């Protein structure tokens, strides 16, 4: 085994983040406060949205956004089964019914054709959560058209897609609300944290109230809410990370381009980016066609190269949701074939070469 381990993720934190944290500690305002408000404004501006509401993590962002949009008991929300379980859990937390639509086999995102077929068949759909999986935006143009035609709410789960875009327009500015995660493995981090962006002032107001115990002022509470607030320490990290995000994105895209070149003639299928969409490569995910995925994973592990399977089991196959009647053969097949390779900004050119060469060499032998 190589002694030089290449990780699947590596948060990029440095002196600037430490200095900003120190300033917050010195101020004594370490809980929710002005630092959080500044981060909300700056992140919303980055996404070309009018409002930002910071939360404690990406799951609470989704939960609060659905609440703010009025999604609750009696409503039906469709999403992709090929995502982290938090997407579906947020629907359950809101008291609504979750349903799943199969995915596009090339992008791994929700398939607009499959969704439209369900809509045309008259299925109740009150909201759709489009997940921008691996950093690739879903087909927001088509989904927005369907939302207008069939009158349902459109929510972006952009937990993996900070800075991704459709026709130059950044995710976070489509639909009725969008939700981001700042978990340490994401394209930027606050250690733990989340953000809702929206163009609707009333949605932002309801979300901000919900994440702060339903508070309207002082000790006056207009509704039952949660404590989903972000801390000023987390926001301090986030403000610096947001400044560095373009640098991180360029590195991820360059690493992805290099990996694609190394794997050009191998039997693995490299990530597909449709025209007009900007992929920010939270993950660089290949499909193992003609070679055994788990054998390749074991081979790379022995060489000190970490990989990830996102996701080994679609959400509708999880014990919490397997009682639902779901047809999603594309998602089920993808779960047996996908493998994510290191692509993060902490990789050196030599690291990228080592990853690409190892995959290509194994694939050639196993072909």
pLDDT at 3 over 70: no
The structure tokens 């009696």 sit at 74
Enumerate helices (H) and strands (E) in the chain, giving the number of each.
11, 15
Find where tokens 């939270």 sit. Answer: 282
pLDDT, residue 295, reads 96
Structure-derived torsion over alpha carbons of residues 329, 367, 274, 165, reported in degrees to the nearest 10: 90
- Coil, helix or strand for 42? helix
pLDDT at residue 290 above 90? Answer: no
Q: CATH code for 15-240? A: 3.40.640.10
Q: What percent of the chain has pLDDT over 90?
A: 96
Write down the mean pLDDT value for the chain.
Answer: 97
- In order of 76, 261, 315, the CA distances from 223 in angstroms are 23, 55, 31
2 falls in which pLDDT band (50, 70, 90)?
very low
Bigger pLDDT: 47 or 363? 47
- Integer angstrom CA distances of residue 193 from 48, 186, 215: 20, 11, 20
Average pLDDT of 270-293?
96
Please give the pLDDT value at position 147: 98
Check residues 289 and 248 and name the one with the higher pLDDT.
Answer: 248
Domain ranges, ordered by start, for the chain = 15-240, 246-366
Is residue 299 a contact partner of residue 307, using CB atoms and an 8 Å limit?
A: no
**What is the per-residue pLDDT across 21-68, written as a single tens digit (0 to 9) for each?**
999 999 999 999 999 999 999 999 999 999 999 999 999 999 999 999
Other CB atoms within a 10 A radius of the CB of residue 312 amount to: 12
Q: What is the pLDDT of residue 1?
A: 39
- Per-residue pLDDT for 276 more than 60? yes
Rounded to a whole number of angstroms, the CA Rg of the chain reads: 21
Burial (CB count <10 Å: 0-12, 13-18, 19+), residue 201: exposed
Residue 145 banded pLDDT, cuts 50, 70, 90: very high
**Under 8 Å between Cβ of 203 and 178:** no
Across the range 218-246, mean pLDDT stands at 97
Structure tokens at 208: 């901000």
Give the separation between CA 273 and CA 256, rounded to whole angstroms.
11
Q: Smallest Cα–Cα separation from 282: which of 185, 359, 192?
A: 185
Q: Which fold has domain 246-366?
A: 3.90.1150
Distance CA 52, CA 197 (A): 5
Per-residue pLDDT at 367 exceeds 80: no
pLDDT value, residue 366: 79
Q: Which residue has the tokens 């070149």?
A: 261
Distance of alpha carbon 27 from alpha carbon 10, whole angstroms: 29
Whether the predicted pLDDT of 168 surpasses 60:
yes
**Which position has the token pair 């639509």?**
101
Cβ proximity of 209 and 225 under 8 Å:
yes
The answer to whether the pTM exceeds 0.75 is yes
At a CB cut-off of 8 Å and minimum separation 6, what does 19 contact?
Answer: none
What's the pLDDT score for residue 44?
Answer: 98
> If you average pLDDT over residues 86-102, what whole number do you get?
98
DSSP character at residue 133:
G
pLDDT at residue 74 greater than cutoff 90: yes
Beta strands 268-269 and 153-157, pairing class: unpaired
Tokens 């990830």 locate to 308
Backbone angles phi, psi at 138, to 5 degrees: -65, 170
What are φ and ψ of residue 220, in 5° steps?
-105, 125
């Amino acid at each position: 085994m190589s002694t030089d381990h290449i990780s699947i993720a590596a948060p990029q934190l440095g002196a600037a983040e430490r200095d900003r944290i120190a300033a917050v500690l010195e101020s004594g305002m370490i809980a929710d406060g002005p630092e959080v408000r500044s981060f909300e404004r700056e992140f919303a501006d980055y996404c070309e949205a009018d409002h930002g509401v910071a939360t404690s993590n990406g799951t609470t962002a989704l939960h609060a956004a659905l609440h703010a949009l009025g999604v609750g008991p009696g409503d039906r929300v469709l999403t992709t089964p090929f995502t982290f379980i938090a997407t579906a859990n947020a629907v359950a937390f809101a008291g609504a019914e979750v349903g799943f639509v199969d995915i596009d086999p090339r992008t791994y995102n929700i398939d607009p054709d499959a969704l439209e077929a369900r809509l045309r068949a008259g299925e109740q759909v009150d909201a759709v959560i489009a997940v921008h999986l691996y950093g690739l935006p879903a087909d927001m143009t088509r989904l927005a058209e369907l939302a207008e035609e069939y009158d349902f709410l459109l929510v972006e789960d952009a937990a993996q897609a900070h800075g991704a875009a459709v026709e130059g327009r950044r995710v976070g500015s489509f639909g009725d609300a969008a939700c981001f995660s700042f978990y340490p493995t994401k394209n930027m981090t606050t250690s733990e944290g989340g953000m809702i962006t929206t163009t609707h002032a009333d949605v932002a107001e309801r979300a901000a109230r919900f994440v702060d115990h339903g508070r309207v002022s002082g000790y006056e509470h207009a509704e039952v809410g949660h404590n989903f607030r972000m801390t000023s320490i987390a926001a301090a990290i986030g403000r610096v990370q947001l400044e560095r995000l373009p640098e991180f994105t360029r590195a991820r895209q360059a690493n992805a381009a290099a990996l694609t070149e190394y794997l050009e003639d191998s039997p693995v299928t490299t990530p597909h980016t449709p025209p007009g969409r900007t992929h920010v490569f939270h993950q660089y995910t290949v499909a193992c066609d003609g070679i055994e995925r788990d054998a390749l994973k074991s081979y790379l592990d022995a060489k000190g190269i970490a990989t990830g399977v996102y996701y080994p089991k679609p959400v509708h196959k999880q014990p919490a949701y397997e009682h639902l009647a779901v047809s999603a053969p594309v998602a089920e097949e993808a779960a047996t074939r996908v493998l994510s390779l290191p692509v993060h900004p902490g990789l050196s050119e030599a690291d990228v070469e080592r990853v690409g060469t190892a995959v290509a060499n194994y694939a050639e032998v196993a072909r």
